[in-house]
Amino acid sequence: MEKTEVAIADEKFHESEAIGKKSNFCTTNKCSFILLVIIAAAVAACCVIIFTDKELRTKRQYDPSDLEWWKKTIVYQIYPRSFKDSNGDGIGDLKGITGKLDHLTYLGVGAIWISPFYKSPMRDYGYDVQNYVEIDPMFGTMDDFDELMKEAKKKDIKVILDFVPNHTSNDSEWFQKSRQMDTEYKDYYVWSNGKLNKQTGKYDGPPNNWRSVFGGSAWTYDDQRGQYYYHAFLETQPDLNYRNPKVLKELKNAMTFWLDKGVSGFRIDAFKFAFEAKNLSLNEDLPQVKPNEIAKWSDEQPHNYTNNLPELYPIIKDWRKMFETYREKDAISRFMSVESTGITQDIRDQYYQAGSVPFNFDLITSLKSTCNGLCFKEIIERGINDLSEDAWPNFVMGNHDNHRVASRMGLDMIDVMNMLLLTLPGTPTCYYGDEIGMVDVNYTFAESKDPAGLNFGQDYWRYSRDPERSPMQWNNTLNAGFSTGRPWLRVSPDYSSKNVKTQKESNRNTHIQVFKKVAEIRKLPSFQHADIQFSVTNENFLSYVRQAEGRPKYLIIMNVGLIKNAVSKADFTKEPVGSSKGQVVAITGTIDVALGSELNLKEVSLKRGQGLIIRVYH
């Protein structure tokens, strides 16, 4: 692979540091002779040590080339219906993604995670799958998908699919046959007669108090079958019965179908809900609901009978075993990440041990606009501390279910948040549009589409996920270049100034240019490992060092203080930096410092929302 300018500069800097600067030290003949004798003795001693110590011979310089591909790349999530519309119907599609692969190459992205495009009635916008091996016509055809795979391969971009194995649509053939008590399918879902009234001897309500994530009871009565079925989400999303081996075989067949088409892995949606307690009469210890109030679900509530049951891990191990059969054929690993909000460290470790990467959502769920540098440090440490050696860290900054980072943290924090994500250890996952600083769009109730919000009536705005799903802003033409038709959701009103084309062509250091620069730096060996050393961290500053053995040392400094426009100063020369000077290799958009310039680390001044990456002098 051709080396980037950043990589070449990294190597040259390391070479120059190794050689050192010329000086007038020891210029007399006598001094030179003594020095020559000392050097010769030192060289001889080193040769003896090096040639008799195999470990020293092989570990002089860290080489990340053997790392699995997903440990070295940025994962970029695409919500397909909002990314790019190719046919003017107002809905993004597969051809739209193919047409924008060059954008991902520009950013330095090596993998895309695509939200569901399977056949679906779209009551939850694709997360209610009707058929796992068919493409919904609104997104295109199987030929379109094959073309996407072909073009992505040319550009060395891996494709990760969003797999939704916890539930299907109630329009699924499986569910319809299960309702009809078809012998083959009757146990594909979780069914119950309901709660037995001991006085009447009849069933007169749901079997327990389990709640739907979207509000209300997680049980719905089906007139045709005469039983209740369980649904952790919408009543149109019945949960599959993972205690039925036939269901597990169906899901493996679906995954195999896409793996055979060349996908590089899956993001497993809502997997912590996959198993429920066998005893369906057990109630969870949930807060009481007031009259006329919709029962609400949250991660903070105890869900001992419906979340993260131990039966999950053997399923992951079995899937991992299947993935390894593909690796044996082509020596390329397959990626498996698991959606895992609200989990303990112990559960996190079990997901890792089973063979998956549990998504770390702490930069979304725990990082608040009230966090200072110490808070940032605590959250980062929680994501990497006590991981086993084979557990690779990861950080997620945004997704289709949470408010955009620019809206959560503030417009002045866009660049430092992207700098943070791309310089932390492990695999970073970013969300489409965050590279240009897209913000939430506040839709009216009439404009809203998301059932998670609409189910709560006029309180929809508290729960709706529409704001973070607005169409991608490509340029300043009609509908931000997303579609020539009427977009399924209104485009953000700031698109004329905030879009890909304008930011790429600007002479200023725009959000997208900062993202691209830091993404290039992230490919350097010093960033391709799991270690981090924190430097000055206080109420205003978050700083840390990234360095691999035998490689240049990099210092990342960010002002994440709470007071806007406030300038803070600090001395960054102490360990682990151990130097008074360095060269500036990346800056956020508002800093008056030239790239490539030398910086005195004794006194660095930054405003809130400003950040630097510095290659440290030895």
CA separation (Å) from 458 to 184, 212, 260, 297, 448? Answer: 43, 19, 46, 18, 11
Q: Which of 93, 144, 339, 468 is catalytic?
A: 339
- Quote the strand ranges of 450-540, DSSP E: 533-534
d(CA 179, CA 173): 10
- The C-alpha atoms of residue 253 and residue 247 are separated, in whole angstroms, by 10
Q: How many helices (H) and strands (E) does the chain have?
A: 18, 23
CA-closest candidate to residue 608, choices 585, 591, 586: 591
Show the beta-strand stretches assigned E in 92-154.
111-114, 118-119, 131-135
List of residues 6+ apart from 7 with CB closer than 8 A: 520, 523, 524
| Active-site option among 10, 93, 144, 269 | 269
For the question of residue 447 being annotated catalytic, the response is: no
- Regarding beta strands 227-230 and 219-222, do their DSSP bridges make them parallel or antiparallel, or are they unpaired? antiparallel
Could you identify the residue written with the tokens 């007031």? Answer: 290
Q: Residue 113 has which token pair? A: 């995670």
Question: What is the 8-class DSSP label of residue 274?
Answer: S
136 is catalytic: no
The dihedral sign for the CA sequence 413, 415, 416, 420: positive
CA atoms within 13 A on the CB side of 317: 8
Q: Give exposure, 572-600, as e/b (b: 16+ Cβ within 10 Å).
A: bbeeebebeebbbbbbbbebebeeeeebe
- Consecutive H or E run containing 14: helix 5-19
DSSP classification of residue 167: B
| Gap between the Cα atoms of 531 and 553, Å rounded | 12
Residues 168, 164: Cα–Cα separation, whole Å? 8
CA–CA separation, 223 and 235 (whole Å): 14
Q: Which residue has the tokens 């290799």?
A: 585
Catalytic residue list: 269, 339
